[in-house]
Amino acid sequence: MKKVERINIIMRYINNRSRFTISEIMQEFNISRSTAIRDIREIEAMGMPLVSEVGRDGGYFVMHNSILPVVRFTDNEVKALFIAFMATRNQQLPYLKSRQSLAEKLLGLISENQQDDLVLLNQILLFEGTNPYNPDLLELSDLPHPMLEKLIQILLSDNYLWITIKEEKVIKSYPIYLLHLYREKSLWMIEGVDLKEEKKKIFSVDHLVNVEPYLTKKRLSKKKILEKISKQEEVINLVLELGPKAIAQFKKYHPLKVSISYTNPYQTTAILKTFINVNKPEELTEITNWLLFLGKDIKIRDMSEEVLEVLQQLSAESPWLQSRDER
């Protein structure tokens, strides 16, 4: 381990403890006593407010309410941060204006050689969604829906929301308890429980007109909400066994409501249980295409006749559908 990297790690180690000794530093980082003392002295010289305690059981502690030294990054840490910034371009993530200021501060902290490396990385690395003709890291043309940050800010203090949605020129408002805020197929989605109808619903953030905290004296607790929803869960009508290739595809993409349970310690086989609503054509087509995306490494454990008939109509050449007769 290089000295700069070791000192950075020691600083984090020290800052996370109320007290430490030279012996602990020696043991934790496998260094000699003289090296540990030199490192501690260098950390003190950098400005970290350490106070020593004399005596047989003496040690060090960090003085509270003091200014800590400027954070120093290793070359690999700088590259990791920069590549993380690059990967977020055109992803419509919240707080992108902060990404711009963070990138500017990062570039101001590092040496000219490190800056040259980052310029080269910016030229040769392209992530999905990046415009190769305008790969400027500080370009803020990929801002998300303006309601997204407001929504997140409210969620930090309360999951009970009053949301206003505009769909096909019709504006509706709903009191909801938000379960998840997630991103699927480049769209931000709200999964929540409609507190009036007591049903689980999904809304697109792109259709969000306004969001406010839902202030009401009579609130169902989260526990009671989930209990009511669990009683409304659909009956499972499709059970699949996934092999390693199908699991790998599942990890790349899967709908929010679908999950798997691993059946061995190596996580090479798994069981997928879900409900397919055959009365919703759009949802049915989407789930069929996704099952095809999982590939051939699938065996059917259980499937209702209704689901089988509809899936065969939609995709007559699905090889994994044939596995039903081989059970």
For residue 192, what is the domain's CATH number? 2.30.30
User: Does residue 20 sit within a domain?
Assistant: yes
Instruction: Report the pLDDT averaged over residues 24-35.
Output: 89
> How many structural domains are present in the chain?
4
pLDDT bucket at 130, cuts 50 / 70 / 90 = low
Is residue 282's pLDDT more than 50?
yes
Please give the mean pLDDT across all residues of the chain: 80
User: Does residue 286 sit within a domain?
Assistant: yes
Q: State the pLDDT at residue 141.
A: 59
Is residue 138's pLDDT more than 60?
no
Are 151 and 208 in the same domain? yes
Q: State the pLDDT at residue 236.
A: 81
Query: Per-residue pLDDT tens for 174-194?
Result: 999 999 898 877 788 899 999
CA–CA separation, 286 vs 288, rounded Å?
5
Q: State the pLDDT at residue 247.
A: 92
Is residue 326's pLDDT more than 50?
no
Q: Which residue did the predictor score with more confidence, 55 or 204?
A: 204
Is residue 40's pLDDT more than 50?
yes
Nearest CA-CA partner of 132 in 84, 85, 80, 90: 90
Instruction: Report the pLDDT averaged over residues 137-160.
Output: 80
Is residue 118's pLDDT more than 50?
yes
Domain boundary among 144, 161, 179: 144
pLDDT bucket at 211, cuts 50 / 70 / 90 = very high
Domain boundary among 104, 127, 144: 144
Q: State the pLDDT at residue 266.
A: 83
Instruction: Report the pLDDT averaged over residues 63-70.
Output: 57
Are 244 and 320 in the same domain? yes
| Model pTM score | 0.56
Instruction: Report the pLDDT averaged over residues 271-285.
Output: 80
Are 214 and 284 in the same domain? no
Nearest CA-CA partner of 154 in 204, 102, 210: 210
Domain boundary among 204, 231, 258: 231
Is residue 324's pLDDT more than 60?
no
Are 101 and 171 in the same domain? no
Structural domain containing residue 153 = 147-231
Using the CB atoms, write b or e for 293-320: b if 16+ within 10 Å: ebbebbbbeebeeebeebbeebbeebeb
Are 151 and 227 in the same domain? yes
Burial of 232 (0-12, 13-18, 19+ CB in 10 A): exposed
Are 173 and 249 in the same domain? no
User: Does residue 77 sit within a domain?
Assistant: yes
Q: Which residue did the predictor score with more confidence, 225 or 129?
A: 225
User: Does residue 49 sit within a domain?
Assistant: yes
User: Does residue 68 sit within a domain?
Assistant: no
